[in-house]
Amino acid sequence: MNETESPQQGDAPAIPRRSRRRAFAEQELRLISSLVLLIGLGLFFALPFVLSIGSVVFLPVVTALVLTVILSPLADKLNGWGLPNALASFAALIIFFAILVLALATILQPAIALFDDVPAMAQQVMARFGEVREQFAWVASLNKQLATFMNTDSTREVVLAAPSLLEQVAFATPSVVLEVVLTLLMAYFMIEARVRLRQRLLFGRASFGTSIKAARVIREVQDRVAAYILTVGWINAVVGVIVALGAWALDIDAPIMWGGLAALLNFLPYVGPIVMIALLGLFGIGTSDTILLGLVPALAYLALHTVEANLVTPSILGARFTMNPVMILIALSYFTWIWGVFGALLSVPILLMLTALFDHIGRPNLVGFIFGEPLFTANLFDEEDTAEQGAE
Q: What is the pLDDT along the chain (392 residues), one digit of tens a residue?
A: 454 455 555 555 555 666 777 676 777 777 877 787 788 788 888 888 888 888 888 888 888 888 888 888 888 888 888 888 889 889 999 998 888 888 778 777 777 766 666 666 667 667 666 665 665 555 566 666 666 655 544 455 544 454 544 444 445 556 677 788 888 888 888 888 887 777 776 666 666 666 777 777 777 778 788 888 888 888 999 999 999 999 898 888 888 888 888 888 888 888 889 988 988 888 888 777 777 888 888 899 999 999 988 888 888 876 666 677 788 888 888 888 888 888 888 888 888 888 877 777 777 766 666 666 676 665 444 444 444 444 45
- Side chain identity at residue 9, one-letter code: Q
- Whether the CB-CB separation of 330 and 306 falls below 8 Å is answered with no
Would you state the pLDDT for residue 121? Answer: 67
pLDDT at 129: 63
Compute the 3-state secondary structure of the chain and give helix, strand, coil in percent, each to the nearest 5.
80, 0, 20
For the stretch 180-185, contacts whose Cβ atoms lie closer than 8 Å and that sit 24 or more positions apart, written own/partner, are 182/60, 183/59, 183/60, 183/63, 183/64, 183/67, 184/64, 184/93, 184/97
Domain definitions of the chain by residue range: 59-114+175-204
pLDDT of the residue at 241:
92
**Rounded to whole angstroms, what are the CA distances from 24 to 3, 138, 323?**
17, 73, 37
Give the residue from 248, 256, 258 showing the smallest Cα distance to 281: 258
